[in-house]
Structure 1
């Protein structure tokens, strides 16, 4: 499948675990300049697709139509983890758009953030659809359907106009034919799409550098979406998660998805990084991404430090004793 060892984890001096995967680094021409494993591995974007799924919403200026704040609009691209400020903003979106929570196709659940989840349990609250990490995306797509006069009750179906626009948008960003994009159903019940890893990276480079997008309306929508992600990084995930840590850096456009996929566009360098961890681990994202930035000579050490602060390479046991380490072990194929 084109995967190579990316990260090794040691307990003492014994190799305990290996995380395999693939990495692709592309330039502004879309060419692969560095790779580990197969840079063209076909990969479902999962939630890494959210900034692109939000482009049709941004092009119709749904935020202006319904008087949404920037913080609320950023939720259209978020995998929020259900902290109090996320839920407050989501409730505001539903009120302003007059969308009923039951209209969201994502299932009722509890927040992903452990503290937020515990708070809801302490208050004896039931599961809710807006606690689902994809509820911001769903709200945006229903609002768009409502504004356009499309059937709001079937917005999640592949043949619905909003889903067809999303598919066409992704094909446009990736510069591939629509017919070449495999589809599946995501965890939240919406259609999801797969692209070669390098095409995922190139799409994120356009998100970071919208001057690479020829269509002016799409370029403007991408620029506004990316700016909101940087302005409200904690909305995109939560106060301690990889996406939010990266988006605090105004030079980066970044979003991860389930099962280990990640995309990052670098504005100043006009490069993009995409990666897939084959076992789906998100815990090794900081190790891999920080090591890639270091190998590229990235000059914002604060961003790299934030990643290592989230998940240190040093491995400690439950009592706080140092018991091992994780190491990025891949070599570039250039």
Structure 2
């Protein structure tokens, strides 16, 4: 495993934290055009897999059949933070879909965001499966099980027909044999997949550029899903979170996962990226992705500025005094596009 320093944090000139990891970017010719560290490193998607796990819903007629709004449908791809608009949409979905809350396999939880969690605690409200950040994904799982005639019981098991369908979709998008996909268990209890970082980047290239997908039905489903994610970015996370900031840019499809993995695709540039922060930090994602976009001369400077605003290069203490700096330290290899610096997947 070859990792590089991605971000360095200093306080009064002394290095306090170092975040190492890997970055890989691929183009439509399935070439690795940008990298830092080992692009073959096996990485678990965690919640960055949610758009792929949501595809069975978009391949079905469930959204139209049950009268879901696009805002509600975005929750199938989301790591929702438990804001009032998330809960309202989830409650509405429960009324429309053939799903009971007690059928969801995700654990009882409070919202991820502090304010809605504190509000529920003040009201002595109990944890609910609906408050779990993966609730939308699980509602999609139960819905398509009923739509396709799969058993609802055990939908979280890797040998269940729904999970096998998702594995096949991942294999197709990643252009990786099923035998080379590693499987673990995610935080919400369903299978989670690990593949080489470069293949992960390829999946997000195809999400950004569905015309690269050979199956016309899958191409149509991906197009619908990505349009909905860009239309309702705050549903995928919430205000002032990196997924929502990136999805506000109509040129970008993006989703992060736990333990420092992040993926995004660029439509106009026809490129896909995946990165892994080895210490699992999500806090430094905005710094890294802003650095990537700057190094590839990304045109939308407002998107870069919004990322910088999420994680400024100068950090302050509790009294508001400037006490340190946060800077990306990596340089992407392959930017000169010479033959020796481009490697095929």
How big is the shift at 1:146?
Answer: 1.1
How big is the shift at 1:333?
Answer: 2.5
How big is the shift at 1:2?
Answer: 1.4
Helix, strand or coil: the match of 2:116?
helix
Aligned to 1:3: 3
C-alpha distance in structure 1 between counterparts of 2:66 and 2:221, whole Å: 17
Alpha-carbon contact 2:295-2:332 (below 8 Å) kept:
no
How big is the shift at 1:100?
Answer: 1.2
Aligned to 1:255: 255
Deviating 4+ runs (over 2 angstroms):
331-334
How big is the shift at 1:123?
Answer: 1.3
How big is the shift at 1:67?
Answer: 1.1
How big is the shift at 1:159?
Answer: 1.0
How big is the shift at 1:129?
Answer: 0.5
Aligned to 1:265: 265
Aligned to 1:13: 13
Q: Which deviates more, 91-100 or 21-30?
A: 91-100
C-alpha distance in structure 1 between counterparts of 2:313 and 2:118, whole Å: 28
C-alpha distance in structure 1 between counterparts of 2:74 and 2:122, whole Å: 29
Helix, strand or coil: the match of 2:23?
strand
C-alpha distance in structure 2 between counterparts of 1:4 and 1:15, whole Å: 16
How big is the shift at 1:331?
Answer: 2.2
C-alpha distance in structure 1 between counterparts of 2:18 and 2:288, whole Å: 13
Q: Is 1:122–2:132 an aligned residue pair? A: no
Aligned to 2:321: 321
Helix, strand or coil: the match of 2:127?
coil
How big is the shift at 1:110?
Answer: 0.5
Q: Is 1:165–2:165 an aligned residue pair? A: yes
How big is the shift at 1:43?
Answer: 0.3
Q: Is 1:210–2:210 an aligned residue pair? A: yes
Helix, strand or coil: the match of 1:259?
coil
Aligned to 1:28: 28
How big is the shift at 1:326?
Answer: 0.6
Q: Deviations over 1:76-131 (max 9, x none)?
A: 00001110100111111111113111110000010001111111112111101011
Helix, strand or coil: the match of 2:201?
helix
Q: Is 1:111–2:111 an aligned residue pair? A: yes
TM-score by length of 2: 0.96
Aligned to 2:342: none
The root-mean-square deviation of aligned C-alpha atoms, in Å, is 0.8
Q: Where does structure 2 lack aligned partners over 5 or more consecutive residues?
A: 335-345
C-alpha distance in structure 1 between counterparts of 2:240 and 2:165, whole Å: 33
Q: Is 1:240–2:240 an aligned residue pair? A: yes
How big is the shift at 1:39?
Answer: 1.1
Q: Which deviates more, 201-210 or 54-63?
A: 54-63
TM-score by length of 1: 0.99
Alpha-carbon contact 2:201-2:274 (below 8 Å) kept:
yes
C-alpha distance in structure 1 between counterparts of 2:62 and 2:40, whole Å: 35
Aligned to 1:39: 39
Q: Where does structure 1 lack aligned partners over 5 or more consecutive residues?
A: none
Number of aligned residue pairs? 334
Helix, strand or coil: the match of 2:259?
helix
C-alpha distance in structure 2 between counterparts of 1:31 and 1:256, whole Å: 23
Q: For 1:293-308, what aligned pairs fall within 5 Å after superposition?
A: 293-308=293-308
How big is the shift at 1:258?
Answer: 0.4
Aligned to 2:142: 142
How big is the shift at 1:215?
Answer: 0.4
